[in-house]
Amino acid sequence: MTNDRIWPGILIRADIDDTGTIPRTPLANSPDIPISGAQPLEDPGILTDPESYDQVYDYDVEAGFPTYAYMRGKNMADRRIDGEWSLFYAAPNILLYPSLWQQNQLANGTGDLNPPFWIEPGGVAATLDAFNWVMPVELDQCSMIGMAVTPEHGNSFNGVTALNDLVRVLAENGNVAQFNVGIVRGDVPDITSSVHYEQGSEAPRVDIVTIFKNTPKGSSYSIAASTPLNGRTLSASGADTQENTFKIASVDLDIPALWAATFNYELTFGSDWSGIPDGAGPQVEIRAELVMQSDHPLYALGADLDLDVASGTLRTAADGWALHIVVAGGFRTVCADMGP
């Protein structure tokens, strides 16, 4: 059983459904790292409007051009809290170890890397002077990492090099969040992209899962990493898909410490858009999921039991206990302008 509690500080949500309960699933879909694109928000104060707190803002990042990003947080404690915002970026990576981004801190328009905040109990605050950024031209996607640093809750990523520690920090600290996404604009016929993976300093068992969402029927896909894993490469492909949302997975991977690879993926759209809601564009997400037996120290974090992708049956360990999984990291590619 988990000892669920409400985060007693500034909450930066892991996704739109995050209510501040700790531990949480460390997703990388934070609505509290809004990106306004090539123009700053006309009225940044809208970010603190109660009606906008549950809104996911559109985003658009173009390499080589100015981009404006914000941060937002809610005080879950019963006292005023003072602190500083910190925002970082990284090249697309499934697992965001601090070595990949800690040197890439962004500053606001006045050059402040750590703009201060103070938030009353129950209140919501946001950066009004946006973080300014020009995404390097060699990147076509990005990952963002945001923190609300206070005297009680600082930067818990310091020294993290192992997958178990990365999952623990993201699950047990409500003042940190990630936003990992690549945007495909325009009426394009397919997605072609890549994302990097680094295992870190330990070798826990991992599933690599690809989730296709809002995909037209009759599509074809492929995903592959050319770097051999224990003597074999990882790849999967399919054609003439018949589901709008589905997933594929390489399961129970014993990945050695320091293994690294680039996953390249392609999705060519079919012509049957039936079953996809209006305005919902296709998405591809590649995840790393930590696989845990009952004696794993993070076993209680695996709220969702792991089902075998092919059979739909429960996967169990040798001792008969159900295997648990917890999301360790992921990266999404979203087609913002396409739909039925």
Structural domain span for residue 51: 5-180
Q: Same structural domain for residues 251 and 169? A: no
Q: Is residue 275 included in any domain, yes or no?
A: yes
Quote the pTM value: 0.86
CA distance to 52, 144, 245, 260, 273, per residue, from 335 (Å): 23, 19, 14, 27, 14
Q: What is the pLDDT of residue 322?
A: 81
Q: Is residue 127 included in any domain, yes or no?
A: yes
Q: Is residue 111 included in any domain, yes or no?
A: yes
- Residue 301, phi then psi, degrees to nearest 5: -75, -20
Q: Which residue is associated with the tokens 């206990």? A: 321
DSSP string computed for 133-189: EE--TT-SSEEEEEEEE-SSS--TTTT--SHHHHHHHHHH-TTEEEEEEEEE-SS-S
Q: Is residue 47 included in any domain, yes or no?
A: yes
Q: What is the pLDDT of residue 310?
A: 57
Question: Which tens digit of pLDDT belongs to each residue from 40-87?
Answer: 888 999 999 988 898 877 566 666 677 889 999 999 999 999 999 999
b/e 301-320 (16+ beta carbons within 10 angstroms → b): bbeeebeeeeeeeebeeeee
Q: Same structural domain for residues 214 and 280? A: yes
Q: Same structural domain for residues 218 and 249? A: yes
Residue 321 is given by DSSP the state: P
Of 134, 150, 180, the residue that ends a domain is 180
Q: Is 121 helix (H, G, I), strand (E, B) or coil?
A: coil
Q: Is residue 56 included in any domain, yes or no?
A: yes
Q: What is the pLDDT of residue 184?
A: 61
CB contact at 8 A, 20 and 174: yes
Q: Same structural domain for residues 286 and 153? A: no
Q: Is residue 340 included in any domain, yes or no?
A: no
- Residue 299, phi then psi, degrees to nearest 5: -55, -40
Q: Is residue 241 included in any domain, yes or no?
A: yes
CB contact at 8 A, 286 and 213: no
Q: Same structural domain for residues 228 and 156? A: no
Please compute Rg for the chain using Cα positions.
20
Q: Same structural domain for residues 42 and 162? A: yes
Q: Same structural domain for residues 176 and 251? A: no
Q: Is residue 185 included in any domain, yes or no?
A: no
Question: Which tens digit of pLDDT belongs to each residue from 3-45?
Answer: 679 999 999 999 999 999 999 888 888 999 998 877 888 899 9
CATH number at residue 325: 2.60.40
Of 146, 180, 214, the residue that ends a domain is 180
Q: Same structural domain for residues 130 and 18? A: yes
Q: Which residues of the chain have pLDDT under 50?
A: 1
Dist. CA 3–CA 23, nearest whole Å: 8
Going by C-alpha positions, the residue among 231, 291, 232, 236 that lies closest to residue 263 is 236
Q: What is the pLDDT of residue 1?
A: 40
Q: Same structural domain for residues 331 and 264? A: yes
Dist. CA 92–CA 34, nearest whole Å: 18
- Cα 142 versus chain centre, distance: 11
How many domains does one find in the chain?
A: 2
Q: Same structural domain for residues 132 and 275? A: no
Q: Same structural domain for residues 155 and 196? A: no
Q: Same structural domain for residues 201 and 118? A: no
Of 180, 205, 228, the residue that ends a domain is 180
Q: What is the pLDDT of residue 302?
A: 77
Q: How far apart are the first and last CA of the chain?
A: 43
